[in-house]
Amino acid sequence: MSYLTLLGTGTCQIEHERRASSVLLELDHTPILFDCGHGIVQRLLEVGIQHNQLEHIILSHFHPDHVSDLIPLLQAGAWSQQNPRHVDLNIYGPPGVTRFITSLLDLFGANGLRQPKAYQIHIHEITDNRFSIGKQNFEFLSLPPAGNHGLRFRWHDKTYAITGDSHFHAQEINLLSGVDVGIIDAGHISDQEIIELAIATQARQIICSHLYRQLDSQQLQTQAQHGGYTGTIQIGHDLLSLLL
Ligand SMILES: [Zn+2]
């Protein structure tokens, strides 16, 4: 079975209901984490995945609300007495990811966040808009202005896209155009821009995430339909899961 689960639909805001940004993909039982903001290591446990089972983490960019739980995740891998890491960890990200991760590792000292005799941390700097994990191909497309990258992939004849952080611009429309499911940053753009994005991309299902404010899905849906949108807009919540 394969799933896409919103582990965190929040932002830098500290809230009861929402952890920071993260989406978990489970593709034929291979877990792949897209972003790892605050509270996500606990959310992983809630869906039955221990930190040390993860072998693949993709980072959209290096804002704290997308990366801050890398620290507890890496420390637990190195030092947990119950679940220490025995398998290598691959971290994928945009240009700068090598410097970012090595700086983080160095900041906490030689073995604070790693145990090189037990496992390796492989850093993959993505420079040509695409990469693969096993046989699965991913597109990794720049979404200005914060160095952020969106992820797009096909799985069982459907196309999925996740924006991470974004703003309303041509690159975002391109990422989301015609996808079956788009997980969007709805917090940095206005209601009107969410509506325009839906109309311009005709993404079949848009799930609003990275939420700074309350959204009214009914109102967004109605206005988007008036503009010719034929898909559905829904508001994401933590642990919302789709069977892929
Ligand atoms: Zn963010």
Give me the pLDDT at residue 174, please.
97
Q: What is the pTM of this model?
A: 0.97
CA-wise closest residue to 185 among 200, 169, 199: 169
CA-wise closest residue to 68 among 23, 35, 115, 27: 35
Distances (CA, A) of 32 to 46, 144, 146, 160, 182: 16, 24, 23, 14, 17
Q: Count of domains in the chain? A: 1
Distance 152 CA to ligand 1 centre (A): 18
Q: Most distant CA pair in the chain: distance in Å?
A: 60
Distance 184 CA to ligand 1 centre (A): 11
Give me the pLDDT at residue 88, please.
98
The tokens of 223 are what? 């206005």
Residue 115 is classified by DSSP as -
Give me the pLDDT at residue 38, please.
98
Whether residue 66 contacts residue 97, with contact meaning beta carbons closer than 8 Å, is answered with: no
pLDDT profile of the chain (244 residues), mean per 10: 97 97 96 98 97 98 98 98 98 98 96 97 97 98 94 97 94 97 97 98 98 97 98 98 97
Active site residues: 65
CA-wise closest residue to 98 among 70, 117, 77, 126: 126
Give me the pLDDT at residue 216, please.
97
CA-wise closest residue to 235 among 187, 165, 164: 187
Look up the domain containing 155 and give its range. Answer: 3-132+141-243
Distance 21 CA to ligand 1 centre (A): 7
CA-wise closest residue to 59 among 88, 33, 86: 33
Distance 165 CA to ligand 1 centre (A): 5
The CA-to-CA distance between both ends of the chain, in Å, stands at 8
Q: What is the CATH number of the domain that holds 171?
A: 3.60.15.10
Distance 28 CA to ligand 1 centre (A): 28
Number of helices (H) and strands (E) in the chain: give both, helices first: 7, 14
